[in-house]
Chains A and B, each alone.
Chain A
Amino acid sequence: MLRFAVRRLLLLVPILVGLSILVFLFVRALPGGPETALLGENATPQRTAQVREAYGLDRPLPEQYLRYVGQAVQLDFGTSTRYRTPVVDEIQRRFPATIELGVSAMAFAVGVGVPLGFVAARRRGTWIDNLSTAGSLLGIAIPVFVLGFLLKAVFAVELGWLPVAGRQDQQQFFGADHPTGFFVLDGLLTGDLPAAWDAAKHLVLPAIALGTIPLAFITRITRAAVLEVVEADFVRTAEAKGMTRRVVTRRHVLRNAMLPVITIIGLQTGLLLSGAILTENVFAIQGMGQLMAGAIADRDYAVLQGGILFLAVVFVLVNLLVDLSYGLFDPRVRESG
């Protein structure tokens, strides 16, 4: 198991090297440069040259890349041209918001998707099965920003049940203390329960908007996996032995059906991070997504490079965790690991 984990972590190295080159070239292939965003139409050739020189953009690409890598291995990802802060600080400041959003979205997707898929499979061909199939198709098809806008229009603007934007109501909880950056947790830690409740309410609509696509996938995969397992011989055997349906479901069906579901959860977690760009923008959550979207508009190379590499590491780690969690469900993985 440990060897497996170490091997997977070592694999990170070639992935990151390859990705860093790709990202490095990609951001420089974008039309315009940071000077476009910084100087606008007032960009005289002299000022443009000055900015390019200040950020080392006038040097040959290989030199820029080596310099970048040299600093990156020391965890120095450079300075944001937009915010003028070290990229590492900016990521540290933004990441909790994205985690909070991602975890809520995943909790929603898993919490609704697995039971829904299971029920759909066990009641195959009924209205609930048809509804979940049609619903998950719709969930995959509808763009996050459209869904987010609609959710807000109904539940925030029309009904006024939930907040529209941001992570905390600034009229009531302005200047609240945020020791960890996770606003719900911060409210609990500082004993400000109304603030924690308010932060949680701010998460509901973004989590639904962002969680819809994973929800759809998880529902469909759960349904398919459960259908496959219930027809397996060992389930029939278990039933024939006279085990109750509940025990069969818990011990045999769910456990075996969960393996593909966990895989899809791992993959969806990575996609969640990119979906967060749109969700964060629509709900004005200043997380990694907004950071990256702003960095693209501002041609903030350092933030783009550092942010994408950081997200890549997160993605690989999440998938590693997923692989390790197989052991919990499948003893065969434990033994062969």
Chain B
Amino acid sequence: MRHRPAAAVGLLALSASLLAACGGDDSGSEGGGGAAGGTLVFGASADPVSLDGAYTSDGESARVQRQIFETLVTTAPGGTEIEPLLATEYTPSDDGLAWTFTLRDGVQFHDGTPMDAAAVCFNFDRWYNFSGVQQSSSVSYYWQTVFSGYAQNEDPELPQSLYASCEAPDATTAVINLTSPSSSFLAGLALPAFSIASPKALEEFGADDVSGTGETPSFDGTFGTTDAVGTGPFRLESNEPGTSVVLVRNEDYWGEKARLERLIFQPIADGPARRQALEAGQIQGYDLVDPADLGALESGGFQLLERPAFNVGYLAFNTAKPPLDNPKVRQAVAHALNRQALVDAQYPPGSEVAKEFMPPELFGYAEDVPEYPYDVERAKQLLAESGVANPTIEFFYPTDVSRPYMPNPEANFQAFTSDLEAAGFTVTPRSAPWNPEYLDTVQSGGASMYLLGWTGDFGDPDNFVGTFFRTQQAAWGPLAPEIYSQLEAARTEGDLEARTAAYEEANRTIMEFLPGVPYVHTSPSLAFAPNVSGYEPSPVGLEEFASVSLG
């Protein structure tokens, strides 16, 4: 009997240690000289949630979906410009309400059925008619992000859908009708969430068999787990969660066939374990390299590829809160911050100091925005000119969170606070747990100056500056009215060149007004074995393995 109390203690220790682990964490070019064939094992950080893009928004799912499925349009390798994929041409009507997509002729799904306009409309209508738990923003996140609402919104707070209907006048023409003009949705269509799947397979494998609305959503079909039928350069061979997803080359691919014969994604959650697996030759590549490992991997002869930055970290002002309503005070803050020192000290190599609210890779990024270089004397001078005596600012920062653009919020807070104090500000620290308290406070306009950031969903400026500044938000307070009008006009502009110019103009206006101080863009790294070639990192994470080969 003497062991029984000990057993109970062991039991508690077991559950306690489970909970104590809650530190929390939390995201091509031509193949070249490589030989065709072979198997590449890629170390993923997790299993894909589902291979059905409509139901996912995470990077590991998208990475696999991208190889099996294709979308109407895609992004240029390594960039964010929109290029044709299943659609060879796409043109908006004059009123911007109807987009005509000319489809590539003769493309077949892996199950041999034709990829035609009817199939495209089938997919769009499927997403539009999502119901019940399918409408949850955690399930069809990207449909909501790009098209806002559904045929029948079950949540009255959801806005009207941007999507109206899809018509298929002939086999190679699909017309997508919108309820209001939009140019930003085109970039959204490059997301794997808008993968065109075989209608036959979607029905046969129960893609919409989602039952048990409310707290127990249950995905009963096999589409997205053991079945996934698209048009991509790889076909799904097997998917055993926890072990691997195995893809094989699609020998009937319409374009240039994949060079690898087989592509395997093996989940390895632990960063050091991914590195060791690469070093031991068990995998040939992995994403999200720990910055601390960069040197060792490089000297070990491994290839390191940098993914272009697609995020921004910023210090935001709420212009409704004095003294931040005073432009000279905002400028004084901007000049007081030593952003370069912070980026050098706290961020991995490849990170750069931001000068506007979107990454340089995106069209509409303006080189000639007003800049506010680190200059303490200038900050003091501006502060004196502002007429605000003894300026005191409440400075909010989140706890319990680490984001790519903000690995350690408290370190950023401390660095900026000492900068501000050196320029004559008095800083009152305010901190709160990231969710829900911090985000609630910020979004409801309760924070005067705060740390935040954004990782882009897709390659359109509206996904950055449009999200922040196109409409008035409590978090930012009132901005110069021309910011709103310029961003709205840029969003609906149909011509890419004119849109680019419009966003450049808007970025200049924004940085002139200075609603906050953007300070960093970060670039995560990928590592590959020396014999791997043809991998082109994409800022939006849309990477093709079809061009990858083993030398």
Contacts and interface: CB of A to CB of B under 8 A. Distances in A.
Contacts of A311: 14-15, 18
Contacts of A84: 49-50, 55, 217-219
A50 B155 contact: yes
Given A32-B435, A153-B276, A167 B243 contact: yes
B282 A39 contact: no
B388 interface: no
| Most B CB within 10 A of own CB, among A168, A267, A312, A323 | A267
- Max count, chain B CB within 10 A of own CB: residue among A167, A283, A284: A284
A175 B237 contact: yes
Nearest to B225: A85
A296 B268 contact: no
Contact of B280 (A22, A30, A156, A304): A156
Contacts of A46: 157
Given A48-B436, A281-B269, A292-B18, A160 B242 contact: no
Given A22-B15, A33-B435, A277 B217 contact: no
Given A168-B243, A308-B18, A271 B26 contact: no
Contacts of A178: 240, 243
Nearest to A172: B39
A312 B436 CA distance: 31
A44 B454 CA distance: 13
A163 B18 CA distance: 27
Given A165-B282, A290-B269, A97 B435 contact: no
Contact of B7 (A23, A270, A277): A270
Contacts of B157: 46
A165 B216 contact: no
B354 interface: no
B84 interface: no
Interface in B399-443: 399-400, 403, 433-436, 439-440, 443
B268 A31 contact: no
B11 interface: yes
Contacts of B214: 54, 56
B282 A267 contact: no
Nearest to B8: A15
Interface in A281-337: 281-284, 286, 290, 292-294, 296-297, 304, 307-308, 311-312, 315-316, 319, 323
B260 to A, nearest CB: 12
B276 A156 contact: yes
B6 A48 contact: no
Interface string B256-276: 000000101011111011101
Interface stretch (A75-83, A106-114, A231-239, A246-254): A75-83
A94 interface: yes
Interface in A163-215: 163-171, 174-175, 178
Contact of A157 (B47, B218, B279): B279
A164 B433 CA distance: 37
B241 interface: yes
Given A50-B136, A297-B24, A175 B246 contact: yes
A140 to B, nearest CB: 15
Contact of A41 (B17, B436, B453): B453
B136 A277 contact: no
Contacts of B262: 174
A47 interface: yes
A167 to B, nearest CB: 7
Contact of A286 (B10, B267, B433): B267
A270 B10 CA distance: 7
B22 interface: yes
B19 A163 contact: no
Contacts of A261: none
B259 to A, nearest CB: 17
A170 B264 contact: yes
A284 B44 CA distance: 11
Contacts of B277: 164-166, 284
Which of B43, B217, B266, B444 is most buried by chain A, counting CB atoms within 10 A of its CB? B266
Nearest to A267: B10
A44 B3 contact: no
B270 A19 contact: no
Contacts of A86: 218
A169 B133 CA distance: 38
Contacts of A258: none
B21 interface: yes
Contact count band on A: 35 or more
Contact of B276 (A45, A165, A290): A165
Nearest to A174: B246
A277 B267 CA distance: 16
Contacts of A117: none
A281 B270 contact: yes
A120 interface: no
Contact of A174 (B8, B215, B238): B238
Interface string A64-103: 0000000000001011011111100000011001000000
A81 to B, nearest CB: 8
B263 to A, nearest CB: 10
B392 interface: no
Contact of A36 (B264, B435, B455): B435
B381 interface: no
A35 interface: yes
B244 interface: yes
A144 to B, nearest CB: 11
A163 B433 contact: no
B25 interface: yes
B435 A284 contact: no
A296 B24 contact: yes
Contacts of B242: 93-94, 97, 286, 290
B13 interface: yes
Contacts of B399: 31
A47 B137 contact: yes
Contacts of A39: 137-138, 141
Contacts of A297: 22, 24-26
A31 B39 CA distance: 42
Interface string B1-45: 001001110110111011101101110000000000001010100
B89 to A, nearest CB: 32
A302 B133 CA distance: 17
Nearest to A148: B273
B452 interface: yes
A43 interface: yes
Nearest to B38: A171
Contacts of B145: 42
B401 to A, nearest CB: 8
A51 interface: yes
A139 interface: no
B39 A171 contact: yes
Contacts of A93: 241-242
A263 B2 CA distance: 10
A99 B141 CA distance: 37
Nearest to B216: A79
Nearest to A11: B4
Interface string B465-487: 00000000000000000000000
Contacts of A267: 3, 6-7, 10
Contacts of A224: none
B98 to A, nearest CB: 29
26 contacts: A31-B434, A42-B457, A44-B443, A45-B443, A48-B436, A50-B155, A51-B136, A76-B216, A94-B242, A157-B279, A164-B277, A165-B277, A166-B277, A166-B282, A168-B243, A174-B244, A175-B237, A175-B244, A277-B17, A277-B21, A284-B277, A286-B47, A290-B242, A290-B269, A297-B24, A316-B7
- List the 10 closest A-B pairs by CB distance, nearest first: A286-B242, A284-B268, A56-B215, A36-B435, A175-B238, A38-B138, A164-B280, A47-B137, A274-B17, A31-B433
Given A84-B55, A164-B276, 11 more contacts: A15-B11, A26-B15, A39-B141, A51-B137, A84-B219, A156-B280, A267-B7, A270-B11, A271-B10, A297-B24, A319-B3
